[in-house]
Amino acid sequence: MVFCIHLLQIVVIILAFAITSVTPISGRAGLIQWVDNVISIYSVFKSWQTREQLAQLSAVGPGNTKHSVHPPVPRPSDMFYGKIIPALKEKGIRRVISRRDWPHEVKRKVLLDLMKEVPRHLLHQELWCASEGYKAFNSKLKRYSGSVAAMSVVGHILGLGDRHLDNILIDFCTGDIVHIDYNVCFDKGQRLKIPEIVPFRLTQMIEAALGLTGVEGSFRANCEAIVGVLRKNKDILLMLLEVFVWDPLVEWTRGDFHDDAAIGGEERKGMELAVSLSLFASRVQEIRVPLQEHHDQLLTTLPAVEYALERFTDVLNQYELASAFFYRADQERSNLILHETSAKSLVAEATCNSEKIRASFEIQAREFSQAKSVVVEKAQEATTWMEQHGRIIDALRSNFISEICAHINLSNLGEALSLTSAVVVAGVPLTVVPEPTQAQCHDIDREVSHLIAELNDGLSSAITVLQTYSLALQRILPLNYLTTSAVHGWAQVLQLSANALSS
């Protein structure tokens, strides 16, 4: 087994995978390095069985299971025989000594039934649950696929057997698969009572954890790459394997292919036990004197040890007191920190509220200033309108319309605007002006005279309407109309508001 481990180490070094150190202590035993963060796949399966059993018991209800004893989780062998025995009885087989006589279709049916009871994606889900996110999960799947491919190919070449779930470990931190127990190698499993005929273990749970592509994705690429690396380094492998050709182990050279598990029997065990007892007796005889010396030394040092333990107890008590004081001080410090944090939050909240109030005050101040400007502007507009309205009413009440009629005289405007008269006034004889131009001038003079007549009529009509409106105002409007009108009141209100806002 130790030689096989060394061989696997060299192969794994070639393939750039993590290795563990091995220290041989005899021809049949050795110390293997402890591997951290790994758990057997059977433990994962066992945990799933426990969860399923608890879920079933919870579904039944707490009242039915309060005083009942939970049944033990069935072992894989119990599950297998619990299905194979009824299946054999259905076929009329009551008692069979060897598995070789079991019908193939019965074993296949039992296998398919057991596969249906176990979820395919159990290992895949465990890897997902142990990942921080998709990136870590994808990295673990790649490591998982590479390690499964490496151990499958290398195990097949070395004839590694006995690959049950307790001998296959998984590291959920990295996704690596770690195999242990290399005792059944060089196709030794084919010579057992029930031969192992599969090249390596690739069951539905292991295959489903490879991802969506299964064996046709990175697993196949890794297997091909590993086979290529092994072929390139075949000289190294053949050199290592040549050792077993010239110095074969006893268990690998026996001729009995079906009773290999019982080689040696009770006689060999008795011989080994006798040799071991003899070696043990001689070793005890050798160390008897040192043991007596150590015993005497132990008796002499016991009082010092007792005194040291008493001092240690005192120190431990003092340490406990100091720890209690420290714990109280830490609690008080935590309370002070909480109070400080609360005070800071209150100060921050007050500062935020003051900032909000100041901003709101500035906005209100701007709005107030704008409103004040609008009020002053509207007050000025109302005052101006009242002044203009008062002047117009006074003009209408007085004889201002007759004065307008006296000043407006459009009778002589046609002569002043005549083009023909302008030519004569300029001293230009009419004979010099072409006849078409004279005709155009006469036409323009007629149009201007017509427009002046229409303007004169319009002004006369407007004056007549103004006189009628003036008479109506004199009869209807009171003399204090301006001071009693609503506009005058609004003007006074706006002026008072503007004065109040200014003060």
| Ordered structural domains, the chain, with CATH | 2-73+119-263 (1.10.1070.11), 390-502 (no CATH)
Average pLDDT, the chain: 80
What is the reported pLDDT for 287? 80
Assign 259 a pLDDT band (cuts: 50, 70, 90).
very low
| Global model pTM greater than 0.75 | no
Assign 331 a pLDDT band (cuts: 50, 70, 90).
very high
Strand residues in 305-425 grouped as ranges (E) = none
- CA 146 – CA 159 distance, rounded (Å): 19
Number of Cβ within a 10 Å radius of residue 304? 9
354 vs 22, higher pLDDT = 354
The CA dihedral of 219, 221, 224, 225, to the nearest 10 degrees, is -110
Judged against a pLDDT cut of 70, whether residue 78 lies above it is answered with yes
* Average pLDDT value for residue range 191-205: 86
φ, ψ of residue 159 in degrees (nearest 5): 70, 40
- CA 498 – CA 220 distance, rounded (Å): 92
Q: 448 exposed, middle or buried (CB, 10 Å; 0-12, 13-18, 19+)?
A: middle
101-110 per-position pLDDT tens digit: 788 888 899 9
Q: How remote is the C-alpha of 84 from its chain's centroid?
A: 47
